[in-house]
């Protein structure tokens, strides 16, 4: 079965069972407390929590996801940064019986898997959350013998929440036994079985019975029952494709083979010896394409830094293989030809994607050569490379920590990670103090323009969508300048609409409320935040009634009525995927030239 057919089969199967097919949400989630979309359920958090009554009580989707904890494992048979998740959900509708029955029906009747090879794990209970006896019985009633049902604890069989708090619950996982010959390493579980590390078993489907909400109850957490019982399921798409195409690795399936072949064509070295390098490049460029299409740009913070790290790692591996100059252009084309029908956004953003990757590649290639020289002369002298040297590679040559770790490992050396973190912190404190000094008195910043910037930001999000994120801001005594992620030139209607919204909010004379709170709390409250790690632990949150909420050092006016008339003077490009707006405030139309 092709990967394309599998996606379609899954959606058709659940559509027939009353599910509404919902498109994948962006990799950049609406919830500002989570950096990237890591699971299919994220876009349904309000429905799962019971906060929103959905028009549909059954939905299914194929979701773009991105996870970073296993970034260093990428290159083996199963790990990826970007991946797809097939999922079906019930918001207070069906529960365990149907979820189990349909999962088995799909795997046995549609995917034609052998029932004997399916193994099940269930939650064994912990504290206030009891053992999931109900699921055990349902699996048994559906013909899974007790000897293939295994009990595990919180770590393996309790899922969520996606962030720190939110909907969660015990889960039941379906594992597939690939056979003894796939047992490559030492068994981590006595007698082998699901969750063993040896490579024989692979988890394919997670059925979460979401009936709890994890809340903060100082000083700890508490699980309370949700008003409704939900189902949240997720299939690791790449893994199931590998099983159905009878491949030992997802890198050998139709999702990756053309990518590997494209890299191979750009290379003059022997393919067989370079499997790991090829896989890292294919995975990281695939991930980068999807991140850029969703508005992420390389930077030194947050999701921008995740993108930078994977791009730079791919660039280093491309250098190791001595790939031809524009190796990424053909690879990107191949990715778009495989995924463009399912995710048209990567097709529409093709030019942006190539420009961003080209920029980063040009920027980093020079630094990489110099940094490698530095590594050879400085770092290599030590068994454990000291923090200040690792920091220097990071600061002066843009080497992400894991790249230095990878280089060190190749030479049989280690890295003093704690020492690096210490250096990094020291440096951040110095630059924060510098920022404070510059804006300390508030004299350089016009409070009116500062408040107008918040109004503009929210108005842009209202008009252009929540993919708009602040990329930079500069205010002088005459005008504001605001850079934001958006790939197309704004139309004159869009600019007019933005001006209207801002001026309407000024007219309403809304009160600006300033509140100090811990950073976590501010983010959880939905306040927009930027350059997260440069914030102190306690931050100021400025709310303009319920229209806008941002973490900001200020200063701001007390009421929006103090602003005058807002006017956009210029809208232009400010780099790939970034637009820049210059705007002024005046009693009448400004004649200021910029």
**How many C-beta atoms lie closer than 10 Å to residue 460's C-beta?**
26
DSSP state of 126: B
* CB of 192 closer than 8 Å to CB of 214: no
Binding site residues, ligand SER, CB under 6 A: 39-41, 87, 159, 206, 208, 232-234
Six token digits for residue 502: 């801002």
Nearest distance in Å: CB 69, ligand SER: 13
Q: Which is nearer to ligand SER, 79 or 405 (CB)?
A: 79
Measured CA to CA, the distance from residue 231 to residue 64 in angstroms comes to 19
Token couple for 431:
């630059």
> For ligand SER, which is the closer residue by CB, 161 or 387?
161
Q: State whether residue 508 is helix, strand or coil.
A: coil
Q: Pseudo-torsion of CA 163, 168, 172, 173, nearest 10°?
A: -10
Q: Answer whether 15's CB lies under 8 Å from 59's CB.
A: no
Question: Which stretches does DSSP call E strand in 93-154?
Answer: 118-123, 149-152
Q: For ligand SER, which is the closer residue by CB, 40 or 193?
A: 40
In whole angstroms, the minimum distance from the beta carbon of 360 to ligand SER comes to: 30
Shortest Å distance, C-beta 215 to ligand SER = 19
Instruction: Report the sign of the C-alpha dihedral through residues 194, 195, 196, 197, in that order.
Output: positive
Residue 159 or 399: the one with the smaller Cβ distance to ligand SER is 159
Q: Any bridge partners for residue 86, and if so which?
A: 62, 235
Cβ–Cβ < 8 Å for 533, 520: no
Minimal distance in Å, beta carbon 153 to ligand SER? 16
Closest distance to ligand SER from the beta carbon of 293 (Å)? 22
Residue 409: CB minimum distance to ligand SER, A = 30
Computed over its alpha carbons, how large is the radius of gyration of the chain? 26
Q: Which is nearer to ligand SER, 233 or 529 (CB)?
A: 233
156 membership: H or E segment, kind and range: helix 154-157
Q: Taking the complex as a whole, how short is the minimal distance between the CB of residue 47 and ligand SER, in angstroms?
A: 14
For the CB of residue 135, give the shortest distance to ligand SER in the complex, in Å.
Answer: 15
Minimal distance, residue 173 CB to ligand SER, in Å: 8
Cα–Cα dist 149/204, whole Å: 15
Nearest distance in Å: CB 160, ligand SER: 6
User: What backbone torsions phi and psi does residue 279 show, to the nearest 5 degrees?
Assistant: -65, -40
Pairing of strands 149-152, 118-123: parallel
Which of residues 239 and 486 has its CB atom nearest to ligand SER in the complex? 239
C-beta closer to ligand SER: residue 204 or 318: 204
Q: What angle do CA 418, 419, 422 make, to 5 degrees?
A: 90
CB of 550 to ligand SER, least distance (A): 30
Per DSSP, 476 falls in state: -
First to last CA, the chain: 59
Residue placing its CB nearer to ligand SER in the complex, 208 or 285: 208
d(CA 177, CA 199): 9
Q: Nearest distance from residue 171's CB to ligand SER, in Å? A: 7
Nearer to ligand SER among residue 39 and residue 285 (C-beta): 39
* 220 phi/psi in degrees, rounded to 5: -125, -160
Give the sign of the dihedral formed by CA 521, CA 522, CA 526, CA 529.
negative
Decide whether 48 or 527 has the Cβ nearer to ligand SER: 48
Is the CB of residue 289 less than 8 Å from the CB of residue 353?
A: yes
What is the distance of C-alpha 475 from the center of its chain?
Answer: 31
The whole-angstrom separation of Cα 123 and Cα 27 is 30
Measured from the CB atom, is 132 or 334 closer to ligand SER?
A: 132
Q: Among residues 88 and 267, whose Cβ is nearest to ligand SER? A: 88
234 or 400, CB closer to ligand SER? 234
Would you tell me the crossing angle of helices 96-105 and 133-141 to the nearest 10 degrees?
A: 40
Instruction: Tell the smallest beta-carbon distance from residue 122 to ligand SER (Å).
Output: 15
Closest CB to ligand SER among residues 40, 577: 40
Least distance in Å: CB of 40 to ligand SER?
5
Closest CB to ligand SER belongs to which residue? 234
3-state SS, one letter per residue, for 383-434: CEECHHHHHHHHHHHCCCHHHHHHHHHHCCCEECHHHHHHHHHHHHHHHHHH
**Which DSSP string do the residues of 65-84 spell out, in sequence order?**
EE--TTGGGTTSSS--SEEE
């Amino acid at each position: 079965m092709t990967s394309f057919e599998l996606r379609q089969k899954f959606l058709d199967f659940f559509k027939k069972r009353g599910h509404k097919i919902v498109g994948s949400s962006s990799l950049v989630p609406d919830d500002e407390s989570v950096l990237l979309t890591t699971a299919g359920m994220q876009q349904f958090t309000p429905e799962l929590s019971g906060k929103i009554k959905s028009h549909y009580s059954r939905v299914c989707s194929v979701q773009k996801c991105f996870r970073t904890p296993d970034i260093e494992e990428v290159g083996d048979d199963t790990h990826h940064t970007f991946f797809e998740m097939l999922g079906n959900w019930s918001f207070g509708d069906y529960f365990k019986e149907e979820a189990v029955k349909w999962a088995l029906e799909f795997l046995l009747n549609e995917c034609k898997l052998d029932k004997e090879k399916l193994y099940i794990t269930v939650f064994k209970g912990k504290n206030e959350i009891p053992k999931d006896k109900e699921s055990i019985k349902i699996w048994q009633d559906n013909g899974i013998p007790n000897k293939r049902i295994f009990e595990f604890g919180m770590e393996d069989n309790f899922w969520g929440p996606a962030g720190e708090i939110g909907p969660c619950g015990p889960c039941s996982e379906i594992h597939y036994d690939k056979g003894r010959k796939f047992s490559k390493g030492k068994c981590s579980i006595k007698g082998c079985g699901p969750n063993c590390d040896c490579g024989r078993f692979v988890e394919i489907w997670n059925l979460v019975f979401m009936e709890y909400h994890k809340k903060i109850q100082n000083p700890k957490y508490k699980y309370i029952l949700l008003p409704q019982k939900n189902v949240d399921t997720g299939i690791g798409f790449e893994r199931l494709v590998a099983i159905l195409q009878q491949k030992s690795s997802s890198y050998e399936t139709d999702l990756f083979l053309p990518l590997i072949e494209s890299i191979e064509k750009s290379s003059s070295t022997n393919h067989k010896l370079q499997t790991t390098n090829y896989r890292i490049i294919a995975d990281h460029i695939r991930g980068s394409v999807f991140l850029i299409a969703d508005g992420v740009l390389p930077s030194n913070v947050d999701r921008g830094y995740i993108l930078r790290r994977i791009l730079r790692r791919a660039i280093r591996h491309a250098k190791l293989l001595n790939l031809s100059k524009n190796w990424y252009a053909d690879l990107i084309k191949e990715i778009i030809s495989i995924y463009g029908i399912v995710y048209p956004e990567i097709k529409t953003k093709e030019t942006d994607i190539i420009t961003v990757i080209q920029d980063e590649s040009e920027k980093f290639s020079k630094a990489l050569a110099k940094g490698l020289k530095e590594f050879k002369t400085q770092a290599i002298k030590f068994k454990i490379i000291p923090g200040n040297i690792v920091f220097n590679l990071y600061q002066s040559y843009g080497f992400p920590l894991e790249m230095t770790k990878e280089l060190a490992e190749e030479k049989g050396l280690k890295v003093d990670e704690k020492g690096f973190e210490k250096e990094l912190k020291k440096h951040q404190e110095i630059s924060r103090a510098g920022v404070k000094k510059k804006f300390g008195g508030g004299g350089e910043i016009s409070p009116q323009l500062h408040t107008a910037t918040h109004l503009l930001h929210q108005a842009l999000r209202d008009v252009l969508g929540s993919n708009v994120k602040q990329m930079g801001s500069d205010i002088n005594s005459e005008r504001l300048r605001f850079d934001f992620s958006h790939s197309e030139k704004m139309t004159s209607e869009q600019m007019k609409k933005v001006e209207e919204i801002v001026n309407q909010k000024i007219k309403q004379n809304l009160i600006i409320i300033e509140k100090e709170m811990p950073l976590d709390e501010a983010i959880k409250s939905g306040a927009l935040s930027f350059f997260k790690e440069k914030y102190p632990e306690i931050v100021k949150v400025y709310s303009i009634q319920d229209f806008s909420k941002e973490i900001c050092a200020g200063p701001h006016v007390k009421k929006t009525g103090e602003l005058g008339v807002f006017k956009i003077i210029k809208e232009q490009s400010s780099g790939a995927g970034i637009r820049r707006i210059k705007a002024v405030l005046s009693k009448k139309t400004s004649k200021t030239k910029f």
